[in-house]
Amino acid sequence: MAVCAAIVGKDNSPKYFACTNPDEELNFQYKVLSSLDVVEEKLNAANKGSDMRELYLGILYSLETHKIYGYVTNTKIKFIIVAESTNTALRDNEIRSMFRKLHSLRA
């Protein structure tokens, strides 16, 4: 299970933030914000190349304790999910479906 999920707006401001442990929220906010660096870079690279069809960005950061995944809608709304590194049961596909659910919930 993910430990933290966030929706970040086009201007990179947080729109929604939730994590399982409220005490850790600040830390997660920092982490999510840091991962936006990678998102921005990936979007820049994608802009230069072909059009973006794949919304799922894959793993953004693989830290000692956590893995951070990203997903960007066509309107540049970013979804970020943080999972624990120890949670090896979590497969790429599940993360994808989690994002898709999040996306449809928001829509």
Partner 1 sequence: MQPNYVALYNEQFELPPELCAKPLALVGVSGLDTVNNAIHKTIWENLSSNRRVERSPVLFKLISNAQEFPVVKPKRNSYEWYIPKGILKKNWLRKHLSDIPSVIVIFYDLDWNDLQWNEKIIECASRVQSLRAALEGRNTRLVVVLLQNTPPLPAGEDSLSSERAIALCASCEISAKSLFVLPHGDHLQGYIVRLESAFYDLAQNYYHMEAKHVENHKEYLNKNTHQYLFVRHQFKMGFLNELKQDIHTAHKHYTYAYNKLLEIRIVDTNAMEIQTVAGFINYKLCKLMFTLNLPRDAISQFKAHAERFKSRIGFKELAFEHYAWLCKQYSIFGDIFDEAVRLGLPAVQTQHPGVYYQQAAQYAIQRKKSCLELCNNVTAYPTAPDPLEGLDHLEFYGQRPWRPGKLNMDNPDPQLEKKGIQALQFLEKQVAHSNVIISLYGLAVSQYKTYKCPRTRRYLVVQMAEEYFEFRDYGKALTLFTHMIWDYRLECWWSILSHILQKALQCAFLTATVQDYVTISLELLGKSITTTTEYKAQVYENLIRVLKKQIPNPVLNLPSYDVHTSLNLWKKVFESESIHLTVDMNSVVSCIETKARFLKDKYEADQNVVLEVFIRSTCPFLLRFTRLSVTINTSEYSSEFAVNETKFNNPNLTFESNEVKKFIVEFLPDSETTGKDMQINSINLYLGIPKECCVELSFNGNLAVSTGGIQEFSRFRRKSASHVDFESILPQSSALVVPRKSKLNVNYDHKQPALVGEWFNIIITVSNEDIAPISSVNVLVNLSEGEMDGSTEFCLNTAAKSELLPLNIGLPDLKVGESKSINLYIRGHKAGQRTVVFKVSYVLESDRSGTSISEDTLHVPFVKPFEINTKFSNTLFEDISKFYVDEEFVVTPIINCVSPWPIVIENTSLDFMPPVESIDESVHSQVKGLILNDKESGAEVFLAKVKRNCESPVNVGQYTIKWKRENGLSATSQLMIPGFEIEWIPLDIKLDLPAFGLLHTPLLVTYTLYNRSHQLLQLEVTVEGGDAFMFAGYKQIPISILPESFKTLDYNLYPVVAGNIVLPKIMITVPENNTEGPSLRQNQVNALLDRALPTHLFIMPQVKGSPEFPKAIQDENLLKVV
> Rounded CA gap, 77 and 4, in Å?
17
Residue 79 CB, nearest distance to partner 1 (Å)?
Answer: 16
The owner of tokens 């999510």 is 32
- Taking CB under 8 A as the criterion, the residue among 2, 4, 36, 82 binding partner 1 is 36
> Rounded CA gap, 83 and 73, in Å?
20
For residue 51, give both structure tokens.
């059009």
- Taking CB under 8 A as the criterion, the residue among 49, 54, 64, 86 binding partner 1 is 64
Helical spans, DSSP H, in the chain: 25-48, 92-106
- Taking CB under 8 A as the criterion, the residue among 3, 20, 24, 29 binding partner 1 is 29
Residues near partner 1 (CB under 8 A) are: 9, 11-15, 25-26, 29-30, 33-34, 36-38, 41, 60-62, 64
